[in-house]
Amino acid sequence: DFQNVSISSSNSNCEDSVNLINTTGYIKRFDSKNSAKDGLDIDYSNIKIDKVFINKTNNDCLDLSGGKYEFVELHLSECGDKALSVGEKSFVKLNDLQIFKSTIGLSSKDSSIISINNAKINKTELCLEAKRKKQEFSGGIINLNHHDCNDSPINIDPGSFINYY
């Protein structure tokens, strides 16, 4: 159970720079740079984080599975695969999302729901995707208030949805 802590990591050679499993609580700030694989991986948790800054990962910057997550600000840059990957029945509430230079900006999959107030996504091969990856789940859902994909494409698989408000 985290209460008002800050976490940082740099130059990690592990599969996940930081991996939180079955955790709860509040994290004030998370920083990660130069990760060999994922910058931050959180599984089966109920966490609120005010500010996240992840820069230069060779895989996903932020990978969330099977939980409830709330973020005030996410700043994700130079992610080798996905900037934000959400799966396995996760519920994510996000106020401000900034993504720069990633293969995929945001991926909602496998019965996950992401609600975002404001998203600015630059220099991605694919801005947004909603899909089903594993057969035991349904598709993904993304709810957006304001977004700017800077002309990057969007992919929506059958049974998945992206809702604009």
pLDDT 10s digit of each residue in the chain, 165 long? 999 999 999 999 999 999 999 999 999 999 999 999 999 999 999 999 999 999 999 999 999 999 999 999 999 999 999 999 999 999 999 999 999 999 999 999 999 999 999 999 999 999 999 999 999 999 999 999 999 999 999 999 999 999 998
Please say whether the beta carbons of 90 and 68 come within 8 A: yes
CA distance 79 to 144: 22
Closest among 75, 84, 86, 131 to 103, alpha carbons compared = 84
Per-residue model confidence (pLDDT) at position 23: 97
Per-residue model confidence (pLDDT) at position 165: 87
Per-residue model confidence (pLDDT) at position 39: 97
Strand partners for 29: 6, 51
- Greatest extent of the chain over all pairs of C-alpha atoms, in Å: 41
Characterise 5 by phi-psi region: left (phi > 0), alpha (psi -120 to 50), beta (else): beta
CA distance 76 to 40: 11
CA distance 11 to 32: 8
Sequence-ordered list of residues with C-beta below 8 angstroms from that of 52, at least 6 positions apart, any chain: 29, 30, 31, 40, 62, 71, 73, 74, 75, 76
Per-residue model confidence (pLDDT) at position 80: 97
Q: What is the pTM of this model?
A: 0.96
CA distance 141 to 11: 33
Quick one: which H or E segment has residue 52?
strand 46-57
β-bridge pairing 46-57 and 38-43: unpaired
Per-residue model confidence (pLDDT) at position 67: 97
